[in-house]
Structure 1
Amino acid sequence: MNTPEQSQLGRASAFVDQYDASLLFPIPRADKRAEIGITGAAPFFGADMWSAFELSWLGPRGKPQVALAHFTIPCETRNIVESKSFKLYLNSFNNTRFDDVDAVKARLRTDIAEAVWRGTEPAGSVPASIGVTLIGPDLFDQQPVHELDGLNLDRLDIECTQYTPAPELLRATPNEQPVTEVLVSNLLKSNCLVTGQPDWGSVQISYTGDQIEQGGLLQYLVSFRNHNEFHEQCVERIFMDIWTRCKPLKLAVYARYTRRGGLDINPFRTSHPQALPRNIRTARQ
């Protein structure tokens, strides 16, 4: 079983510019989910939406090609992919020839699907449900920038003293009628699980249920500031803490993290089936 400590994180890495799918480093989701009380089926749906800004390959005549890429990895896959390994894998396309953009897209989908489902039993029994979209230079200037919609918690003048996750800060006020709110903050920060390097993000929390006390929620989000965990794991921890402490009828948590190494990761988790958010970057991304 792969562990984060066995990955290329924090190590000098050789630059590989010829296609190599073995560079992808999957890490099982199960261990970190067990830490937050998930031992069977998760109480959420969703996906990890990745954007890649440094993708290039060679056309059949050797001319370099470039594109932006969006990847959608369902949260029910067995594994996440460690982000540095994802970057190294994408770099391996740099001096590799492909017949056309469809060949690149197919190769990406096949390799990523194999990595995120690796170890699933019986072998070959899982769908290759990985979304891959490539955006060529002719559409670059049509790519939107938009901040997360919702009431901004950062307007609150609060004291913050806790910088490791403190779910006890979460409170909900019983209401005769459930409320529906969308709350956002740009103050989410956590650190890489292995290297301790900072990860900056914005988060959107949508819920229906007893009203969540906004000051406590903002203090709780700030409490991730010195916490070491991967993006996907932080979002699932936030979801589970709100789900168990505030007991909403419905809940969705969506975070957009700033890019590192040409990649950003944007996990979305929801208690009820719904369409994924559009993968639109924020200004900081």
Structure 2
Amino acid sequence: MSKSSAGHKMPRGSVPPYVLLVDNGSLQPAATRQLRKIAAALGRRLGKKVTPVSLLHSDQVPAKKLGGRKAEILRSAVEQRLHRGGREFVIVPLFFGRSRALTEFIPELINQWRLQEPKLKVRLAAPLAVGGDDQLARILETQVRAKLTPGFLRGQRARVALVDHGSPVKTVTQVRNRLATQLRRRLGPSVAGVAPCSMERRPGADYEFNEPLLETLLATSPWNTGPVIVAQLFLLPGRHAGPGGDIERICRQAREKSPGLRTVRTKLVGEDPALEAILTDRFLATK
């Protein structure tokens, strides 16, 4: 770029659509690093650049912990590109269900951006879990079957606890429950049972739909003895599902209380290459 053109916005219509892969955000560097890996893989699959951005938090991680490049936040990422002449965006959510991030937070941002630029075009893709699609259940099945080893089972059939973070939005919890049903059907008699549960929940009767908690389930017969596979319905590593995180702690404490209990955790959904196919489908469905 010449000195005379540096710093100026590009002419309208000259900037191709920006594709943004959006997660919730985390203060854990590992979460942003994994988000970047997924965005790069999706970009190779689509044949176009996919920019990883977060809704919140991630920009507080020091750049030195992220290879010298700070994480981007959705609001500033879009506004910077608007200033450079961008008018069209495709937002691909890295979310399992229609949380408030997708029903409230992002739509509110889009409305604000349209006040700045009336010609703005934003296509918001669907979340990962949509009705009638069993791709997520297939990923979970693969991860669970990888843990059905003779050394872990010791001649017994395992039970599977499908755990997510827990949500204040009932429809998000219903997504998890539907996935548990699909997973139970796919695993069939190879396991003794599949149960959905939450890592945590808000207090009060209004949020009882998150029950049971993983901690409670692992203390209840017959889940407190024998092999239990904890299928982690989490996308990115962090303080909950990463090494040394809350899920690991809950499982360790459950084993200490019930010596006959054995637990093993699956990989995160975001670590499975098959996730790229789902994200590709969600992107293509916006056209």
Q: TM-score, normalised by structure 2?
A: 0.28
TM-score by length of 1: 0.28
Higher strand proportion: 1
- Answer 1 or 2: which has greater helix percent: 2
Structure whose CA Rg is larger:
2
